[in-house]
């Protein structure tokens, strides 16, 4: 069985406070986008292993045996009698980009196993399993726009549809450490939360919705600021860095011809956004 995990963007991100446990509370909006990986699972009859991961596409650092899709399989296998499987993960979503690619892969693995082996796990229980794999993983179980608080794990449905806009995602060859990103942010509770700001017309977002990580990260990597500026020069209605970076995105009314020519030596992809109420195509 095959499925196509998709990415997300953060529309705005405010770090509101540092928690006693060392984590930070956030104020952000997650929006699903049609930028996909491919994930295939095949039953491995008579195999002497529980699961084996085969990777292709974008390089992924680390031991494949500790990949989130493997952890997702073993998490369910601890409660359900799953057979041995071969897993093929083709990475297209850039890693270290703030696009949630790894979290998406993990959650879509849970969804695929649930369907493939008729486990009949409810959406709520799948979200509980996903939460054990990462704070934002439960978002990808249903993958509809949400206003997120807490450490990015408390979701509140919102009515937000960017249908018919064109999304441009640009990811240069820049690595941003999440720990480093947080070290440069000074938490502050906003006077107006994002769930209130997001209802304004997109033309107003540029002046009202921001990503707290941008100031410090742009100072270290000015090329990211240049990409954001270029997106606006090309006519973006709104442009920002997603999460703690290093991918940036722009929302456009019309497609940009030969978009890749404007962002040489970067991952660059342009797609029309679907109706969010029908979900991201898979």
Asked if the model's pLDDT at residue 280 lies above 70, the reply is no
pLDDT at 64: 86
CA 257 to chain CA centroid, Å, is: 26
pLDDT at 179: 85
281 confidence band (pLDDT: 50, 70, 90): very low
Residue range 75-93: mean pLDDT, rounded: 97
Asked if the model's pLDDT at residue 277 lies above 70, the reply is no
pLDDT at 22: 86
Residues 232 and 270 in one domain: yes
pLDDT at 45: 87
- Between CA 50 and CA 31 the distance in angstroms is 34
Percentage of the chain modeled with pLDDT above 70? 98
Q: Domain range for residue 109?
A: 2-157
Sheet holding 267-272, edge to edge: 238-241, 248-252, 166-171, 267-272
99-144 residue pLDDT tens: 999 999 999 999 999 999 999 999 999 999 999 999 999 999 999 9
Residues 14 and 149 in one domain: yes
Residues 27 and 63 in one domain: yes
Residues 65 and 128 in one domain: yes
282 confidence band (pLDDT: 50, 70, 90): very low
Residue 230 falls in the annotated catalytic set: no
Residue 8 falls in the annotated catalytic set: yes
Residue range 229-236: mean pLDDT, rounded: 98
279 confidence band (pLDDT: 50, 70, 90): low
Residues 118 and 180 in one domain: no
Residues 172 and 272 in one domain: yes
Closest by CA to 168, choosing from 87, 247, 251, is: 251
Residues 119 and 199 in one domain: no
Contacts of 53 (CB under 8 A, 6+ apart): 64, 65, 67, 69, 70, 87, 88, 89
Residues 17 and 136 in one domain: yes
Sheet holding 154-157, edge to edge: 6-18, 24-36, 146-149, 154-157
Residues 134 and 180 in one domain: no
Contacts of 23 (CB under 8 A, 6+ apart): 151
Q: Is-cis flag, bond preceding 246, omega within 30?
A: yes
pLDDT at 73: 98
What CATH number has the domain bearing residue 228?
A: 3.30.70.890
Catalytic residue among 8, 91, 228, 237: 8
Catalytic residue among 105, 136, 171, 197: 136
- Between CA 265 and CA 268 the distance in angstroms is 9
* Residue 269 vs residues 36, 241, 256, 258: alpha-carbon distances, Å: 11, 15, 11, 10
Q: Among 123, 157, 191, which residue terminates a domain?
A: 157
Residues 83 and 180 in one domain: no
Asked if the model's pLDDT at residue 77 lies above 90, the reply is yes
Which residue has better confidence, 247 or 180? 247
| pTM for the predicted model, two decimal places | 0.94
Buried b (16+ CB within 10 A) or exposed e, 248-259: bbbbbeeebeeb
Residue range 192-211: mean pLDDT, rounded: 95
Residues 110 and 182 in one domain: no
Q: Are 184 and 217 in contact (CB under 8 A)?
A: yes
Q: Among 157, 184, 204, which residue terminates a domain?
A: 157
Q: Are 188 and 281 in contact (CB under 8 A)?
A: no
Mean pLDDT of the chain: 94
Residue range 86-91: mean pLDDT, rounded: 98
How many structural domains is the chain composed of?
A: 2
Closest by CA to 35, choosing from 87, 85, 105, is: 105
What CATH number has the domain bearing residue 52?
A: 3.30.230.10
Q: Among 157, 179, 201, which residue terminates a domain?
A: 157
43-54 residue pLDDT tens: 998 889 999 999
CA 282 to chain CA centroid, Å, is: 15
3 state SS of 35: strand
Contacts of 6 (CB under 8 A, 6+ apart): 32, 33, 34, 35, 36, 37, 93, 104, 140, 143, 280, 282
Residues 136 and 23 in one domain: yes
Asked if the model's pLDDT at residue 80 lies above 60, the reply is yes
């Amino acid at each position: 069985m095959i499925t196509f995990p998709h990415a997300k963007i953060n529309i705005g991100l405010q770090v509101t406070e540092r928690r006693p446990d060392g984590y930070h509370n956030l104020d952000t909006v997650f929006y699903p986008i049609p930028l996909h990986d491919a994930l295939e699972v095949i039953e491995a009859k008579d195999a002497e292993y529980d699961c084996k991961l085969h990777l292709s596409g974008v390089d992924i650092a680390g031991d494949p045996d500790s990949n989130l899709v493997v952890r997702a399989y073993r998490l369910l296998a601890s409660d359900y009698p799953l057979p041995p499987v071969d897993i093929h993960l083709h990475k297209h979503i850039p890693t270290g980009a703030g696009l949630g690619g790894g979290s998406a892969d993990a959650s879509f693995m849970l969804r695929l196993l649930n369907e493939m082996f008729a486990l009949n796990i409810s959406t709520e229980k799948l979200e509980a399993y996903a939460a054990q794999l990462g704070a934002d993983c439960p978002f990808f179980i249903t993958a509809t726009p949400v206003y997120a608080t807490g450490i990015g794990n408390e979701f509140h449905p919102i009515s937000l549809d960017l249908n018919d806009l064109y999304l441009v995602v640009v990811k240069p060859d820049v690595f941003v450490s999440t720990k480093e990103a947080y070290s440069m942010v000074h938490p502050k509770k906003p006077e107006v939360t994002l769930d209130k700001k997001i209802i304004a017309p997109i033309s107003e977002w540029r002046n009202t919705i921001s990503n707290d990580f941008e100031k410090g990260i742009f100072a270290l990597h000015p090329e990211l600021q240049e990409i954001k500026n270029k997106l606006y020069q090309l006519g973006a209605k709104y442009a920002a860095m997603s999460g703690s970076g290093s991918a940036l995105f722009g929302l456009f009314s019309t497609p940009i011809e030969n978009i890749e020519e404007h962002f040489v030596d970067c991952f660059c992809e342009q797609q029309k956004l679907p109706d969010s109420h029908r979900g991201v195509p898979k």
